[in-house]
């Protein structure tokens, strides 16, 4: 069964303590892996798209990487404002199915 | 302008009411989406419009009725909803309905059905 799994479910860091979030997927025929940030009660904010293994993208303290089976979102020296839920979604194009498959997210809390 | 706007921000309605949610984007995107999101769950796709035509209906109950008046606007008409329909309703858009295109989300409408 095609699925996307994010770990850990929740993560608490001290300000400045770097860490990584994981998104593993089992879909075949990957057409894109998307990272979003979501604050409580708000819509997801687009962060990155990764298309092929070996690809990396960076934005401020965030860096996303992709392998054939998983993606990592590295957070370097996080600040309290990085606290949010980070969602991973995968798009594949098997037959007529054009949906995104979403992970359940990682809830990140950064303490000052 | 990379913004998707949604109105209203909050909506409380009874089970016999008729209301509408509105979404607007001015990025020239030709695909627009409605999602429903429950607490601590990822967004759940409801409808997709591609070039103003309904492309995907994820077996959504008929009490939800989407409408795409033009390429910038998307409505969701609500009628005879149930309390379990209370959720955050998200609108999103992408350049086209393409597996490679990222979707940009609006802030959502928090719907409460009494």
Cross-strand pairs, B50: B31, B53
**Span A6-35, average pLDDT:** 93
Interatomic CA distance for residues A34 and B31, integer angstroms? 17
**Span A5-26, average pLDDT:** 97
Q: Of A82, A81, A98, A70, give the one whose Cα is nearest residue A19.
A: A82
Q: Can you point out the beta strands (E) in chain A?
A: 4-7, 10-14, 19-25, 30-38, 45-50, 56-59, 62-66, 70-75, 84-92, 100-102, 106-111
Give the pLDDT of residue B30: 93
Could you give the C-alpha distances from A52 to A86, B55, B98, in angstroms and in order? 20, 27, 16
Mutation to test the B interface, candidates A25, A37, A43, A98, most B Cβ within 10 Å: A43
Give the pLDDT of residue A30: 80
The separation between the first and the last C-alpha atoms of chain B, rounded to the nearest angstrom, is: 36
Give the pLDDT of residue A103: 95
Share of chain A above pLDDT 90, in %: 79
pLDDT band at A98 (very low <50, low <70, confident <90, very high): low
Name the A residues in 1-20 with CB < 8 Å from any B CB.
Answer: none
DSSP state of B114: -
What does DSSP say about strands A45-50 and A19-25: parallel, antiparallel, or unpaired? unpaired
> Residue A60: CB partners within 8 Å, gap ≥ 6?
none
Chain A within 8 Å of B26 (Cβ-Cβ)? no
């Amino acid at each position: 069964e095609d699925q996307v799994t994010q770990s850990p479910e929740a993560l608490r860091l001290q300000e400045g303590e770097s860490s990584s979030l994981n998104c593993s997927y089992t879909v075949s025929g990957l057409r894109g892996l998307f990272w979003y940030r979501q604050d409580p009660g708000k819509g997801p904010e687009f962060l990155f798209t990764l298309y092929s293994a070996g690809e990396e993208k960076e934005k401020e303290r965030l860096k996303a990487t992709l392998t054939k089976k998983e993606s990592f979102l590295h957070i370097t020296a996080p600040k309290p404002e990085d606290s949010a839920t980070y969602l991973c979604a995968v798009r594949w194009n098997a037959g007529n199915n054009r949906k995104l498959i979403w992970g359940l997210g990682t809830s990140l809390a950064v303490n000052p | 302008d990379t913004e998707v706007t949604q109105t209203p921000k909050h909506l409380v309605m009874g089970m016999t009411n008729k209301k509408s949610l509105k979404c607007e984007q001015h990025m020239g995107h030709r695909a627009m989406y409605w999602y429903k999101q429950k607490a601590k769950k990822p967004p759940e796709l409801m409808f997709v419009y591609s070039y103003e035509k309904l492309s995907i209906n994820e077996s959504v109950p008929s009490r939800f009725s989407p409408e795409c008046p033009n390429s910038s606007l998307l409505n969701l008409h609500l009628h005879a909803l149930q309390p379990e329909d209370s959720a955050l309703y998200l609108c999103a858009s992408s350049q086209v309905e393409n597996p490679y295109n990222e979707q940009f989300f609006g802030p959502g409408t928090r719907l409460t059905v009494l």
